[in-house]
Every structure is written in C-alpha cells, then in structure tokens.
C-alpha cells in the first residue's frame, strides 16, 4: 500500500558480501516511497513511535561516480510503529548538493572523498575563474538526525544542517550555523539534556587567528516560540595543539559537570585545504594528514560556568570517532571510547574501490588498518597534591592509570574493555535517557568484521561479558536502545536495527527488534524493497 506515490522503486544493488556497506542505487531511487511490512512475531504495544535513519542512497550521478562511502547522497528512512503495525517510508533529502546534481547530471559540490569539477560545457575562461570562487561546502546531511526544540534536523559535519518534517520526510530548509555561532562546522553527534538543551562541538579560528574548538549551546524550546538556533552561543573554548591543523572531530564526551574533547593525531592541513581547493580540484580526504609523534590529547572544561581546565592529559596515538559514555566518580572523569590504534586515518579504508574488492582482499587490506579496541580512560581532576611518577587513579574497579610527568603532562594508559582481532565494537549506544553522562553498565554496538557490519553486540563494561546477535548473510545497522516505559533495570527495553540482505539470493530488508537484556529476537518487520545501509538515527516517540 502506497500513501504518497504509486511509482515503483527501481534499485540496482551490488550482490556480493564485500559490497554490503555499499549496497546502493546506481540509478535514482524514487523521491519517496511507503510500504507496508510483513511482521513476524508481536511488536510490544508500548513501542508506538518512529525510527528515523540516515545514510547514503546514491553513488552515481549521470556518468560520474562518487568515490567514498561518506559521499553518497543523503537518503532518509522512517519506520512507523503504530498499533502493532509497521510502515516504511523514505525520501532523498533535497539538499543543494542533491538537487543540483540531479539537475546537471554530474557531481556539482565536492563531497568528503569526491572532488567536483567545473562544468565541462563552460569555456576555458569560465572554468578558470570558477576555481577561484572560493570553497563551496557540501550540505549533504547523510550522517544523523536529531531534535532542536520542536523541529528535527538532518546533519553532516559541515556548517549546514537541514530541517526536515519527521512525518512526511520532506526537506524544509537549509540552515547555516555560521550565521549564529563562530564555528566552521559542528559534529553530527550532539548531546541533548532532558529539557532539550543541546551541546555540540566544532572547530573555529579563535583569538589572533589561532585555531580552537568551541562548545556550542542551543537552548530548549523558547517561551516566545522563537527558533532556539537563533539563541545559540559559544560557552567555552578548547585550544588546539597545532595552529593551522585542527584535529578531525566526530563526537565528544559530556558528564553532568564537564565536557571532554579528545584531540587525535588525524589533522586537517588548513593551508593545504585552502590553497589546493582554490587552485585545483581536491576533496576533504586529500587534506587529512597524521603524525604519530603528536600522540592524543584529552581536554577538559567545566559546563557552568564554561571554563577550560588547564591539565595536559596525553596518551599514545589512536583514532576515535564515537564516545560510548563519560561520567564522574569520586573526583575522576571516566571516558569510554571506541578506538582504533595508531595514527593512520581509518577513513582511508572506506573508499568504495577498497570495499568493492573480493572478500579475501578486503580482509588482507583490513589487516593493515588500525586495530579496533574499546578503551576506558580515567582523568583525575585534582592532581596538584600528587607526586610525580605516581598513579593518580584510585578507583577500585579500573586498571586505567594516570601518571604526572616532570614536564607537567599527565600520561594516560587505558583499561581495555573489549578487544578481538579485526573485530570492531562501533556505532555505540547506551540507555542515554537514564545513564547518559552517568555511571552505567551496558553498551550496545554494531559489530564490524574487517569493516563489514555482520552482528549486533552488547557489552557489560563492568564485567566485560558480551552478547551477540548474528544471522548468516544479514548485515545490521547501528542498534538504537528504546527504554521500556516501566523499566526498573538499565537494560529493560529493546534494540531497533535495520538489517539488509544483499547477495545472490537477495531477501527483503527488515526492521529487527531485539530484547536488550539478552539480544533475543522479539519481532522483525520485512520490507518489500531493498534498503541501503544507514549510519545513525533516532527513535521519536
């Protein structure tokens, strides 16, 4: 049954295991579709809302391909759960990047790993001057969606977010955050408090043109019904370890009283970025560089008032994209992270050319990539009375250490919470409503086998016990936790994930509902269309 259109959806998907991350349409999907689903077992009656997801949906425009996993044009998905029934909807976001690409049948705006070139139909003088018109930043918001006041916004990692209607999935307007706060971009992983207050982080140029990272606060719904984004403000600033080379930032930590920013050794060379982009075609990935000697720095600031805590926390080099949780305990800040050892940028392995290789070749390439590991770091706040060379951590339940050195830095060593060769615990989720920024026990994640998402995992961060849901030839997305309305335990609720089934015997994708306690299946709702893999999303009650 179709409520918006009757046009069929034409999809062409890769049919091999190694293409699961790049299952996509090579011809445009229809702009919107809704499909009733076939349901196995019974959906909990209290689960009455919408699962919203975002990810790439198109990797070719005309005869021009996109080259990186993060370049696909944003496709928004919705599973409505009402009265035990499920209906699936999807629409492409009508961003400038998408609309102009569809109009001109080519890549018009440079994406993360794909450079856009001037219109070949222009004469040589027009093309020459086009190179010097400045940087046109993409608004392809394919990473995440989150609420701001009574509105909902799709986000990427630039200065643009896109307002969407969560009921119809229509694109409403493009918002440039630079009009309200001093940032060059914000992450797609904000922290949201119970009253609706939003905190996020982005890099900027600070005093004397020095690079810095700003924490931005967006207030909750205003009494005068004005747009909360218009009341955005910077509340605290973190310094950068290098003046013209900001670190890549994908997420950050927040407790009840502190912000934690992890500055990793993967850097954006701004001089290269500005000069190369204006002279020749280049993309964001071309401007990343890393240096193992820099190591990784942890920065801390208080929330109210927003003040930088001038302790120099340092550790060995690693990549980090997702924070699991951060909380305070007895004068310490506990920071749990999904890390990748070393300084090499993990995104280098996510070019589509790499992912399209045969499975054995993918595994060989992944052996060169940084080793994934779930780590716990502990930061002492009061270190002034301690002696050099002594472990400053006194929490009885962790082996993480922090040692004050003669140069004034505090060297951190982690406790490893989970590690298995080439098996990543990524896209983490927790019971954020009850335990975000607080002590917790359980984390849920997507399990990656050599970058292939083939399972859903649960981790007890205290005992290190693990649970796994896995099914042959089935590839899930990030599992979202939804708490039961009468919950008495931290893991009393369900996990929602979209599972895709590419390959020779393509089966319909399905919405998977798991019991969060033991990852047993409660129900699944099969969709009679093929769904591309998604990145992040939210559950809207």
- H or E segment to which residue 435 belongs: helix 432-435
Report which of 75, 176, 217 is spatially closest to residue 537, judged by C-alpha positions.
75
Q: How far apart are CA 514 and CA 44, in angstroms?
A: 11
Q: What is the CATH number of the domain that holds 518?
A: 2.130.10.10
Q: How far apart are CA 263 and CA 500, in angstroms?
A: 34
Q: How far apart are CA 3 and CA 89, in angstroms?
A: 9
Distances (CA, A) of 191 to 208, 329, 490: 30, 20, 19
Q: How far apart are CA 491 and CA 472, in angstroms?
A: 26
Annotated binding site for Fe cation: 189, 250, 322, 536
3-state secondary structure of 118: coil
| pLDDT score of 380 | 97
290 C-beta neighbours (distance < 10 Å), count: 18
- Total tally of structural domains belonging to the chain: 1
Identify the DSSP state of 198. E
Contact 194, 187 (CB under 8 A): no
Regarding beta strands 307-315 and 409-413, do their DSSP bridges make them parallel or antiparallel, or are they unpaired?
parallel
Cα of 54 vs its chain's centroid, Å: 10
Q: How far apart are CA 493 and CA 455, in angstroms?
A: 19
User: For residue 91, what are the contacts with CB-CB under 8 A and spacing of at least 6?
Assistant: 31, 32, 75, 76, 168, 169, 170, 171
Question: Is the preceding peptide bond at 305 cis, omega within 30 degrees of 0?
Answer: yes
Q: Does a structural domain hold residue 455?
A: yes
Contact 304, 217 (CB under 8 A): no
The backbone region for 130, taken as left when phi is positive above 0, alpha when psi lies in -120 to 50, beta otherwise, is alpha
Q: Does a structural domain hold residue 2?
A: no
Annotated binding site: 189, 250, 322, 536
Report which of 362, 321, 347 is spatially closest to residue 68, judged by C-alpha positions.
347
Q: How far apart are CA 280 and CA 361, in angstroms?
A: 32
Query: Over its length of 541 residues, how does the chain's per-residue pLDDT go in tens digits?
Result: 222 322 222 222 233 334 454 444 434 444 556 566 667 788 999 999 999 999 999 999 999 999 999 999 999 999 999 988 999 999 999 999 999 999 999 999 999 999 987 655 544 444 444 444 456 899 999 999 999 999 999 999 999 999 999 999 999 999 999 999 999 999 999 999 999 999 999 998 755 667 899 999 999 998 888 999 999 999 999 999 887 889 999 999 999 999 999 999 999 988 777 765 555 568 899 999 998 788 999 999 999 999 999 999 999 999 999 999 999 999 999 999 999 999 999 999 999 998 888 878 888 888 889 999 999 999 999 987 667 889 999 999 999 999 999 999 999 999 999 999 989 999 999 999 999 999 999 999 999 998 999 999 999 999 999 999 999 989 999 999 999 999 999 999 999 999 998 765 567 899 999 999 999 999 999 988 888 889 999 999 9
Cα of 56 vs its chain's centroid, Å: 13
Identify the DSSP state of 234. E
Regarding beta strands 510-515 and 475-476, do their DSSP bridges make them parallel or antiparallel, or are they unpaired?
unpaired
| pLDDT score of 42 | 87
Q: Does a structural domain hold residue 326?
A: yes
∠ CA 199-213-184, nearest 5°, is: 85
Q: How far apart are CA 91 and CA 74, in angstroms?
A: 9
Cα of 326 vs its chain's centroid, Å: 17
Q: Does a structural domain hold residue 4?
A: no
What domain range is 297 assigned to? 13-540
Encoded tokens for 53: 């997801």
Q: What are phi and psi of 430, to 5 degrees?
A: -135, 180
Regarding beta strands 144-148 and 191-192, do their DSSP bridges make them parallel or antiparallel, or are they unpaired?
unpaired
222 C-beta neighbours (distance < 10 Å), count: 12
Report which of 202, 96, 90, 79 is spatially closest to residue 141, judged by C-alpha positions.
96
Q: Does a structural domain hold residue 1?
A: no
Q: Does a structural domain hold residue 501?
A: yes
Q: How far apart are CA 190 and CA 232, in angstroms?
A: 13
Q: How far apart are CA 97 and CA 110, in angstroms?
A: 9
Q: Does a structural domain hold residue 6?
A: no
Q: Does a structural domain hold residue 171?
A: yes
This prediction has a pTM of 0.91
Specify burial of residue 31 (Cβ count, 10 A radius: 0-12, 13-18, 19+): middle
Regarding beta strands 401-404 and 409-413, do their DSSP bridges make them parallel or antiparallel, or are they unpaired?
antiparallel
Encoded tokens for 157: 């990692």
Tokens 């509105």 correspond to 151
């Amino acid at each position: 049954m179709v409520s918006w259109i009757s046009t069929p959806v034409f999809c062409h998907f890769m049919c091999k295991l190694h293409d699961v991350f790049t299952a996509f349409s090579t011809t445009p999907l229809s702009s919107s579709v809704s499909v009733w689903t076939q349901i196995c077992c019974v959906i909990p009656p209290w689960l009455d809302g919408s699962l919203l997801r975002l990810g790439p949906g198109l990797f070719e425009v005309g005869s021009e391909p996109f080259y990186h996993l993060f370049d696909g044009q944003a496709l928004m998905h919705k599973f409505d759960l009402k009265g035990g029934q499920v209906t699936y909807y999807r629409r492409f976001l009508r961003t400038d990047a998408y609309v102009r690409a569809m109009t001109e049948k080519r890549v018009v705006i440079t994406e993360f790993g794909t450079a856009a070139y001037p219109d070949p139909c222009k004469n040589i003088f027009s093309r020459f001057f086009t190179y010097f018109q400045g940087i046109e930043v993409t608004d392809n918001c394919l990473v995440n969606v989150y609420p701001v006041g009574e509105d909902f916004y799709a986000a990427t990692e630039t200065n643009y977010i896109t307002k969407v209607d969560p009921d119809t999935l229509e694109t409403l307007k493009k918002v440039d955050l630079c009009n309200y706060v001093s940032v060059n971009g914000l992450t797609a992983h904000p922290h949201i408090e119970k009253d609706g207050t939003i905190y996020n982080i982005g890099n900027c140029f600070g005093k004397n043109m020095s690079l810095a990272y700003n924490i931005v606060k967006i207030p909750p719904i205003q009494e005068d019904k004005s747009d909360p984004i218009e009341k955005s403000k910077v509340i605290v600033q973190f310094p950068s370890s290098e003046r013209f080379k900001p670190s890549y930032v994908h997420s950050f930590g927040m407790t009840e009283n502190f912000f934690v920013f992890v500055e990793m050794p993967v850097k954006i060379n701004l001089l290269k970025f500005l000069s190369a982009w204006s002279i020749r075609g280049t993309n964001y990935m071309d401007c990343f560089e890393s240096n193992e000697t820099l190591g990784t720095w942890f920065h801390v600031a208080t929330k109210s008032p927003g003040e930088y805590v001038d302790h120099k926390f340092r550790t060995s080099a690693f990549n980090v994209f997702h924070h699991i949780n951060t909380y305070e305990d007895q004068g310490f800040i506990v920071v749990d992270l999904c890390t990748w050892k070393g300084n090499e940028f993990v995104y280098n392995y996510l070019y589509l050319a790499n992912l399209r290789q045969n499975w054995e070749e993918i595994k060989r390439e992944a052996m060169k990539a940084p080793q994934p590991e779930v780590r716990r770091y502990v930061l002492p706040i009061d270190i002034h009375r301690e002696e050099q060379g002594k472990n400053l951590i006194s929490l009885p339940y962790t082996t993480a250490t922090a040692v004050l050195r003669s140069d004034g830095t505090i060297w951190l060593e982690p406790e490893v919470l989970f590690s298995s060769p080439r098996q990543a615990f990524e896209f983490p989720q927790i019971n954020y409503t009850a335990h975000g920024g607080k002590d917790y026990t359980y984390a849920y994640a997507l399990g990656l086998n050599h970058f292939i998402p083939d399972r859903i995992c649960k981790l007890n961060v205290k005992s290190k016990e693990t649970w796994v849901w896995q099914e042959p030839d089935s590839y899930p997305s990030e599992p979202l936790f939804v708490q039961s309305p009468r919950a008495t335990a931290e893991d009393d609720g369900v996990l929602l994930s979209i599972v895709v089934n590419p390959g020779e015997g393509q089966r319909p994708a399905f919405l998977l509902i798991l019991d969060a306690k033991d990852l047993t299946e409660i129900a699944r709702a099969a969709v009679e269309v093929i769904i591309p893999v998604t990145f992040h999303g939210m559950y809207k009650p």
